[in-house]
Structure 1
C-alpha cells in the first residue's frame, strides 16, 4: 500500500508537468522529444506489444496500470491511471481510446502522454518510476468569464524583464504546482486507503447501494425509546446472553420486538451495520425477519418482527401449556425449523452457522409456525467454506456438539447436532439435561439411546399424546438420534433431514451411539469446579482442562465481528 502511494505521487508529478496551455478539448496530448523510431524497429514492435497487453493484463484494484516490455535500449515503459469513480470496463475502454489517439497524433514518437476527463496514459523509452519530471511546466486556467474580474497586473515582457525576474516567476509556478501535487496526492492516498480497508473478519463489504439500504433500515434512538416506552420493564419480553428484548410499537402502528444488545461488544460501527445488512437479506418464512436497527451513542438495537406466541420453550417445557401443542402442531414446528436451518446452510447467499439453536430461540407466530431467531453468535461463511475454529466457545450447554464444546470446531454438522437435541426435546416435552424418568433424572440423549436399543422408544414420547399414532413420533426419534451421533461424518446434512421428515417412505439408516458420555464428563467436571449456574465466555480447548459451559437457560455469546 505504501509503495502504491509513492507510485501515484510520482505519476501525478509527471502528469501535471505535461499539462497543456489550453483546456478547450476533450482529449489532450503531448509528444515527447526523446526521438523517433521506425515502424519495423524493435522499439516499434515492443510498443505495439505493450499497447496490446497494457489494459488486458493490468490489476484493477487501484485503477493504476503499469507495464514494461523489452530490454534496454529498446525497452518501452508505460503507466496509466483512471479516475477513481470509473468501473473496470470503462477504464480499460478509455485507455484503449487514448492509445489510439496517441498512435495517430504522436506517430513514431518514443515518448507521449495523453489525457482525457476519465483517464491518463504516459509511455516512454525512459524509466518513469524513481525520477520526477520538472521541465516544460504548463498551467490550466478556467476559460469562463468572471462576473467582476480584477484589473490584471502588468507583467514585464521577456524583453523588458531580467533573468532573475524570469527565474523567480518560474520558481513560483513550480512551487505552486508542487504544492497542488502534494495536496492532491495526500487526498488520493487517503481515499484509496479508505476504499481498500476491510473490517476484521467481515466477508461482505458495504457498497454504495448498500449504504443507502442501511440508511433506510436505520431508526433514530428517540423513535425506538418512544416505541418501547423507554425500555420499561412492562414491555420486557425476555433476557438472553446477548441482551434484553422489549415489545414496541412504531409510529406507523407496527408491533416490533427490540433487542437491546449488551454494551462493550468491541464491534465497530461499520462491522455492526455490515452484519445487520447481511441478516436483513435473509428472507425465509421460518426465520424471524429483521426490520431495522439503531446505532446511536452507546446503543446498538436490533428491530425484529413481533411474534406473538413467544418461544417454543414456554410451551413444551410447561406442564400446562404443553397440552396446547398436539402432535400435529409439533410436527409442523419440527419441519419448519428444519427448512429454516436448510436455508441458512445451503440456500441463502452465504452459508450461515447459527451456533445457538435451542427451544428458546425458536419463536412461534400466531399460527404456531416456527421461526428461528437470535443470530447474535452466528458465523457467516462463504459458500466454499465448510467449517471453522474458535478459541472462544459461545452457545448453550446441552445443545453443543462435542467437537465444538471440547475443541472449538464448528460446522453445519454442529447445527445438525443441536437440531437433533431439539427434535428429541419436542417429542419428549422435556429438557435435554434433566429428563424425568419416574423418580430418576437422566440425560436425554443417553435415555433416548438406551430405549432405542431396547426397543422401548415409547417411553420417550410426551405422555400428553401417547394415545395418538406413534409411528411418526418414533420416526422423529430415529432422525433425532441420527443427528446427534458422536462422529461428525455420520450426521446427515439438513437436506436429507428435511426429506426424511417429509416422506415416510424414505428409509433411515441405523444410528450409532450419541456423544452422551462426553456430555457426562463435562457436566461432572462443571459441577465440581464451577457449579451448576456457571457462565464463562473465555473457554479453553484442551482435553486436560474440561470446558465450563452454561446451563440450558443462558447463552454465552461471542461479541466479535463475524
Structure 2
C-alpha cells in the first residue's frame, strides 16, 4: 500500500460487486518489513491495540501500542450515525474489522479494512505523521453496483447523474463545514435528494484530525473518481473510501435517523420531440417489386451481420467478465488495481524514452508514480481474450507468491481491452545485459555470478517445492532474470507458467510455448510438462553465465554441445572468463558440471532443484558424471578425436 510515503498520491481500485449488501474491502500493505508471521510480540501488541480502539466511546480513536521494532499504530472511525444510534454496534464493527484484517491479510503488519459501518487501519508505519507533511496520500477504493432493471426504475441517465453529482457536491461542502458536538460528528453529514424518484441517499465523512482544507481535498478527490464510475451509467450505489475520508450514495436508505441535509432535485431534462415526417411530392406511389426485394435482401444481410457481431461480442464479453470477476476475487487485498491514467502519467504516455524492453507478449516501460515510487509497467499485446488469459495467469500466480528471488507484482490495469501489469522496478534490468555485454562495461565479479546462479536456483526451489502452489515457469531464460540493486536475481514473467495439481509430477500440453534453445526435448517434441523442463532451462542459463556465450540452438550447434565437447577433452576452463575479480576455477568447474547434469537428455537423470542447491553449497560433495546433453551435436574436432 502506498500510504505512509507522505506524498499526495491517488490510487484507485474500482470493484463491481454482485447485488446485495457490499462485502468488506481490505488492503494488505506489502513490503520488505511488512510481515510478522513468527513475531508473537507484534501480534500481542496488535491484539492489545484492537482492544483499546474497539472500546473507544466516541466512535473515533487513534492509538499506539508497544515499542519499536514491534510498535503498532492504529486508527478506527465509525460512521457518525452508527455511533449516535448504537455505540455498541460501532465497537462491534471495529472489533470485527480488526479480526477480519488479521484473517484476510494473514501475517501482514499493515492492513486497512473498509466495513460498511466503520474503517480501521493498523500498521508498523507512523501513518498519521503523513497528515503533517506538505503533501499527503489519498487512496481511493471504490465499490459500485449497477441498477438491475427489475429492482429500481431510474430516470434518464443524464438527469440521474446530475442528481447524484448535486447531492455529493452538497455533502462535501457541508461535511467540511460540520463541526459537530463530538469528534465523530466532525466532518460528517448525511443527505438525500428530495422530490426525486428514486430518492438518492448519501453521506460524507473525514477523519477528525484532518484540517478542513485536507478534508475538502480528500472528498473532492473521491468525488472526481466516483464521477468516473457513475457518469453515463445508472448505478444502484457507489461507496468510495480512503483511510482519511469516505463518500457514498445509494438508492436505498442505509444510514440511521433523518437526513441532515435536504437537496432539491435538478431540473428535469426537456422532453425530446419525435420529428414528424411530412410526405413530399409523389409519396404514396407504389414501390417497385425490385425495390422491395432489394430492401428485404439488404435487411437480411444487415441482420446477419449484426447477429454475427452480437455473437462475437457477447462471447468475448462473457470471457472478459468471467476473467475480470476472477481477477477481482484474487486481488482484493493482494495487489492494486491501477487506473490507466495513473500509468500513462507515470510512463509519460508510454514514451519510447521509458521503454525498458520488448518481448513476444508486449513492451515493458519504466514508470514513476506521483509519490516518486518507481515501477515497471508491462503493456500486453494480442487479442483481448489472449491478453486477459495471460493477465489472469500471471496475477493468479504472483498474487500468491512472495520470495526475494521472484519479481514482485504490485498491481494491474484493465481498460477497454488493454491489459497492463505493474511490477516492482528492478534497477539493473535483466541478466543478459551483463553476461552478453562484449564491451565489459557491465562485467560481474565472480562471487556475483556465483550468487546469481544460486539465487535463481532458490527461486526455482520456491516455485517447485516451497510455495503453496507447485509452479513450472516454462520460460526461464537470461532476459527473464532481473537483477536488483545488490545484484540479487529475481525471476520474472510468469505469463506461460503452469500449475501442477497436488500429487502430480507432470502433465501434458498441446500448446508448446517458450524459447527454443532453453526448451527441454521432451517438452519441445511431445509437450511433456514437469519440473524437469525448468531444470533443463536452468542448466542452459548456468552454461551461459559461465561462458558468456548466448545459446543459439540450431541443427548444427548449441552451447551445451560445445561445452560437452570441451568437457570430454578436459579443456572446458578455456570457455570460462578467468579474468573476473575473485575467479575460482574450482567453483567454475563445479558449476559447469552441475549445468551439464541439468541438460541431460533423459529428464529422470536431471537432478531436482533441491539437489542442485545442495551441490552448489556443499563443495565437498561428490558429483555424478554427466551424460551427453540433449540435442548433442558433435563438432568436427570431436568426431575426429579417438
- TM-score bucket (shorter structure): 0.5 to 0.7
Give the Cα separation in 2 of the matches to 1:447 and 1:224.
45
**Are residues 1:287 and 2:406 paired?**
yes
Contact 2:444-2:580 within 8 A present in 1 as well: no
Contact 2:338-2:413 within 8 A present in 1 as well: yes
Gaps of 5+ in 2: 1-317, 636-642
Task: Tell me which residue corresponds to 1:234.
Answer: 353
* SS across alignment from 1:363: strand
Give the Cα separation in 2 of the matches to 1:459 and 1:344.
34
Q: Given the superposition, is the C-alpha separation of residues 199 and 511 from structure 1 closer, same or farther in structure 2, using an over 3 Å criterion?
A: farther
Q: Equivalent of 1:251, from 354, 370, 378? A: 370
Comparing 335-344 and 387-396, the one that deviates more: 387-396
- In the TM superposition, what whole-angstrom CA distance separates every residue of 1:467-487 from its partner, at most 9, and x where no partner exists? 933000000000000000000
Give the Cα separation in 2 of the matches to 1:518 and 1:227.
49
Q: Given the superposition, is the C-alpha separation of residues 478 and 211 from structure 1 closer, same or farther in structure 2, using an over 3 Å criterion?
A: closer
Task: Tell me which residue corresponds to 1:398.
Answer: 517
**Are residues 1:486 and 2:606 paired?**
no
Give the Cα separation in 1 of the matches to 2:328 and 2:581.
57
- In the TM superposition, what whole-angstrom CA distance separates every residue of 1:187-239 from its partner, at most 9, and x where no partner exists? xxxxxxxxxxx999x99x9599646336x611111111111111111111100
Contact 1:314-1:321 within 8 A present in 2 as well: no
Give the Cα separation in 1 of the matches to 2:571 and 2:387.
53
Q: Equivalent of 2:530, from 396, 403, 411? A: 411
Task: Tell me which residue corresponds to 1:305.
Answer: 424
Give the Cα separation in 2 of the matches to 1:295 and 1:231.
16
Q: CA deviation at 1:269?
A: 5.4
Task: Tell me which residue corresponds to 2:43.
Answer: none
Give the Cα separation in 2 of the matches to 1:211 and 1:334.
32
Structure of higher CA gyration radius: 1
**Are residues 1:354 and 2:473 paired?**
yes
Task: Tell me which residue corresponds to 1:65.
Answer: none
Gaps of 5+ in 1: 1-197, 436-440, 521-562
Contact 2:560-2:632 within 8 A present in 1 as well: no
TM-score by length of structure 2 reads 0.46
Contact 1:390-1:409 within 8 A present in 2 as well: yes
Give the Cα separation in 2 of the matches to 1:208 and 1:396.
31
Contact 2:535-2:609 within 8 A present in 1 as well: yes
Q: Equivalent of 1:314, from 433, 451, 455? A: 433
Task: Tell me which residue corresponds to 1:213.
Answer: 333
Q: Equivalent of 2:550, from 426, 431, 434? A: 431
Q: CA deviation at 1:278?
A: 3.0
Contact 2:517-2:553 within 8 A present in 1 as well: no
Give the Cα separation in 2 of the matches to 1:501 and 1:327.
14
Contact 2:473-2:497 within 8 A present in 1 as well: yes
Task: Tell me which residue corresponds to 1:17.
Answer: none
**Are residues 1:276 and 2:391 paired?**
no
* SS across alignment from 2:463: helix
Contact 1:327-1:465 within 8 A present in 2 as well: yes
Give the Cα separation in 1 of the matches to 2:328 and 2:459.
30
Q: CA deviation at 1:390?
A: 1.8
Give the Cα separation in 2 of the matches to 1:400 and 1:239.
20
Q: Given the superposition, is the C-alpha separation of residues 262 and 249 from structure 1 closer, same or farther in structure 2, using an over 3 Å criterion?
A: same
Higher strand share: 2
Give the Cα separation in 1 of the matches to 2:411 and 2:538.
28
* SS across alignment from 2:419: strand
Q: CA deviation at 1:266?
A: 2.2
Task: Tell me which residue corresponds to 2:611.
Answer: 496
Contact 1:286-1:337 within 8 A present in 2 as well: yes
Q: Given the superposition, is the C-alpha separation of residues 332 and 245 from structure 1 closer, same or farther in structure 2, using an over 3 Å criterion?
A: same
Task: Tell me which residue corresponds to 2:571.
Answer: 456
Give the Cα separation in 2 of the matches to 1:220 and 1:237.
21
Task: Tell me which residue corresponds to 2:457.
Answer: 338
Give the Cα separation in 2 of the matches to 1:382 and 1:375.
17
* SS across alignment from 1:396: coil
Contact 2:561-2:633 within 8 A present in 1 as well: no
Give the Cα separation in 1 of the matches to 2:523 and 2:508.
8
Q: CA deviation at 1:507?
A: 1.7
Give the Cα separation in 1 of the matches to 2:328 and 2:497.
25
Which one scores higher on RCO, CA 8 angstroms, separation ≥ 6?
1
Contact 2:393-2:494 within 8 A present in 1 as well: no
Q: What does 1:17-166 align with in structure 2 at a 5 Å threshold?
A: none
Q: CA deviation at 1:275?
A: 4.7
* SS across alignment from 1:388: strand
Q: Equivalent of 2:631, from 513, 516, 537? A: 516
* SS across alignment from 2:414: strand
Q: Equivalent of 1:507, from 619, 622, 634? A: 622
- In the TM superposition, what whole-angstrom CA distance separates every residue of 1:344-399 from its partner, at most 9, and x where no partner exists? 11111111111110111111111111111111111122332221222221111111
Give the Cα separation in 2 of the matches to 1:371 and 1:362.
6
Contact 2:327-2:396 within 8 A present in 1 as well: no
* SS across alignment from 1:257: strand
